[in-house]
Amino acid sequence: MAESKARPPVVGGVLTIIGGILVLVSSFLTWGRVAAPQTSGRVDLKGSTIVLIVGVVLIVIGVGLMLAEIRGLRIALGLIAVVAGLIAVLFAGMAIANKNLFLDQAADRVADQQGVPHDIAERQFRLAEQRGQLVVSRELGLYLALVGGVMVLIGGILGLRGGPRAPVQAEAAGSEPGGWSGQGFSRPEPGSPQPRAPEATPPPGTAPPDSGPPSGGEFTP
């Protein structure tokens, strides 16, 4: 009897690993830049150490999705990948849509260098950007993180669904492979001639039974 067993979701694991690598690489690249067109001053903003750690964790989750055969473990890893992918996509999408995130980070960095309160520096940076004195640009690292988050999200969903099912041959209890249960011969094919039982052989020294007088003859004592 053939049963089926779910294989590990290889495609989901591969996508999660690639997405984790993109997130990991994005932590070393510039996500956003705040520059003053009139001068050469600019502030480059990169991914934090948290982004680096998240990338490593996502790679480990992807490897786990490729190797996990236990359904409960695979579902848990898939859920973690889905949540992490959603967070990465939402955060990157907000950074792309809202340039004030980069303005505030740049203002806080300058405020720490000059000893100015953060709220005052953030207000001045936003006013300068509205007047055209500052320009905010999104850089490669941000888009890599976005693409990586999307791939992790898809990989986690595929991990929840599981891989293709492979047939597994199951033998009945107490049966011999290729034969009847408890028998020493193979199952006959349908339509094949049945074996004949061997004729009984009389033991040695026993006279064969008299078959009677010949048909149509006389009996002579």
Mean pLDDT value of segment 1-12: 62
- Which carries the bigger pLDDT value, residue 182 or residue 14? 14
Mean pLDDT value of segment 134-156: 94
The yes-or-no verdict on residue 206 having pLDDT over 60 is no
Mean pLDDT of the chain: 79
Confidence of residue 37 (pLDDT cuts 50, 70, 90): confident
The CATH architecture to which 2-160 belongs is Up-down Bundle (1.20)
pLDDT value at residue 71: 87
pLDDT value at residue 53: 94
Which tens digit of pLDDT belongs to each residue from 69-111? 888 899 999 999 999 999 999 999 998 999 999 999 999 999 9
The yes-or-no verdict on residue 7 having pLDDT over 80 is no
Domain limits, the chain: 2-160
The yes-or-no verdict on residue 20 having pLDDT over 70 is yes
| Lowest-confidence region among 43-47, 153-157, 205-209 | 205-209
pTM for the whole structure: 0.68
- Which carries the bigger pLDDT value, residue 180 or residue 128? 128
pLDDT value at residue 27: 93
The yes-or-no verdict on residue 2 having pLDDT over 50 is no
Tokens at residue 3, please?
């049963």
